[in-house]
Amino acid sequence: VSAWVSRLGTETGCAVPRSGRPPRSGAVGRVETGAPRQGWNSVFPRVPCWVATDGAEGAGGRRRRRDRGRPATERVSARAHGKCTRTRLPPLPSGTGLGARGGSAQTVAPRCVMAGAGATAGDPLMFQLIPLFVASTIAVTCRSDGNHTATCQTDKCETVGSAEICTGCKAGGVPVDGFCWPPGSPQAAAAGCTEEDGTALDKTAAICEKCGDGYFLFMGGCYKTTDGPGNEICTTAKDGVCTTCKTDNGLFKNPAATPEKGSECILCSDATDRNGVTGVKDCLKCQAPGGNTGAATCTECQAGYYKDAKGACVQCQGNCATCETSATHCTSCKGNTFLKTDTNTCVEAGQCTGSKYPDPSTGKCTACNGAEVGIADCDTCTYDKTLQKPKCLTCTSSSQKIVREEADGTTTCIATNDCTQNGRDGPNFLTEQNKKCILCSNNADSTPGNTGVPGCNTCSKTGSGTNPQCKTCLDGYFGSSSCKPCGENCATCTQAGNDKCTKCKPGFFLKVSGTPGQCFACDSTTDGGREGCSVCSNNNGFKCTECKPNYKKQLNGGANDDYTCVKTCEDDTACGGTSGACDAIVIDNTGKELHYCSYCGDSNKVPIDGKCVNTGSINGNTGCTSHICKSCAQGYFLYMGGCYSTTNAPGNYMCKTAANGVCTTPNANNKYFIVPEAKATDQSVLACGNPLGTIVDTKAYVGVDGCSQCKAPAALTEAGMASATCTSCDSSKKPNKGGSGCFACTVSGCSHCNRDDMCEVCDNNKKVSPGRKSCVDDCPSNSTDTDSVCTCNDGYSPDDAGTSCVSSGANRSRLSTGAIAGISVAVIAVVGGLVGFLCWWFVCRGKA
Q: Are 222 and 215 in contact (CB under 8 A)?
A: yes
Q: Which residues contact 845 (CB under 8 A, 6 or more apart)?
A: none
**Alpha carbon distance 581, 120 (integer Å):** 8
**DSSP notation for 142-186:** PPTTSS-TTTBPTT-EEEETTEEEESSBPTT-EEETTEEE-TTSH
Q: Output the pLDDT for position 143.
A: 82
Q: Which of 99, 101, 109 is nearest to 134 (CA)?
A: 109
CA distance readout (Å), 100 to 47, 141, 166, 665, 695: 18, 11, 16, 23, 6
Specify the 3-state DSSP secondary structure of 230.
helix
Q: In DSSP terms, which residues pair with 194 in a beta bridge?
A: 210
Q: What are phi and psi of 256, to 5 degrees?
A: -60, 150
Give, as one character, the DSSP assignment of residue 734. E
Residues of the chain predicted below pLDDT 70: 1-140, 421-423, 514, 617-619, 809-848
Q: What is the pLDDT of residue 626?
A: 83
Question: CB under 8 Å, gap of 24 or more: what pairs does 652-660 form?
Answer: 653/586, 653/587, 653/588, 653/589, 654/586, 654/685, 654/687, 655/685, 658/632, 658/634, 658/684, 659/634, 660/634
- Is 278:271 a contact under the CB 8 Å cutoff? yes
What is the CA angle 397-400-402, rounded to 5?
A: 100
pLDDT of residue 513: 73
Q: What is the pLDDT of residue 561?
A: 86
pLDDT in tens, 769-814: 999 999 999 999 999 999 999 999 999 999 988 999 999 865 444 4
Q: Which one-letter amino acid corresponds to residue 570? A: E
User: Which pLDDT score, from 0 to 100, does residue 837 have?
Assistant: 61
Q: Which of 375, 439, 385, 453 is nearest to 407 (CA)?
A: 439
pLDDT at site 835: 56
Hey, what amino acid is at 50? W
Helix, strand or coil, per DSSP, at residue 323: strand
Give the Cα separation of 163 and 816 in Å (integer): 57
What is the separation of C-alpha 348 from the centre of its chain, rounded to a whole number of angstroms? Answer: 31
CB of 846 closer than 8 Å to CB of 838: no
Q: What are phi and psi of 599, to 5 degrees?
A: -165, 145
Estimate to the nearest angstrom the gap between the alpha carbon of 708 and the chain centroid: 23
H or E segment to which residue 277 belongs: strand 277-278
Which of 519, 520, 549, 548 is closest to 533 using CA atoms? 548
Q: What is the pLDDT of residue 585?
A: 93
Are 364 and 347 a contacting pair, CB within 8 Å?
no
How confident is the model at residue 682, as a pLDDT? Answer: 93
